[in-house]
Amino acid sequence: MADDLSALAGQPGWTVTGRLATYQPQPDGWRADVRALSSPGRAFDRYHVAVRDPAGRAVHTKMATTLAEARRLAEGHVRARS
């Protein structure tokens, strides 16, 4: 995968575990999960972004084609709701 989720590990508010990155700047607050998706035979990978409320319910989902787009979506939606 050209855009590796591990690139987010050193960024403030981000934690990365395998193919899942979570942006949660405030403990017990809103968060966004970014999951790397790949399909056999496809020339590109995608990212699924799920914005979750403090109870863990997904309230918004979006697909992104680049890691930069996934990061922008995750951080923007969480900041807007915090």
Dump pLDDT digits (tens) for 20-37: 999 999 999 999 999 988
pLDDT in tens, 41-53: 776 678 999 999 9
Give the pLDDT of residue 3.
Answer: 58
The rounded distance, in Å, linking the Cα atoms of 67 and 4 is: 8
Average pLDDT, the chain: 90
- Cβ(39)–Cβ(19) below 8 Å: no
Tokens 């949660």 found at? 24
What tokens appear for 17 in the block? Answer: 């575990």
Comparing C-alpha atoms, which of 11, 6, 17 is closest to residue 72? 11
- Cβ(31)–Cβ(50) below 8 Å: no
What pTM was estimated for this model as a whole? 0.88
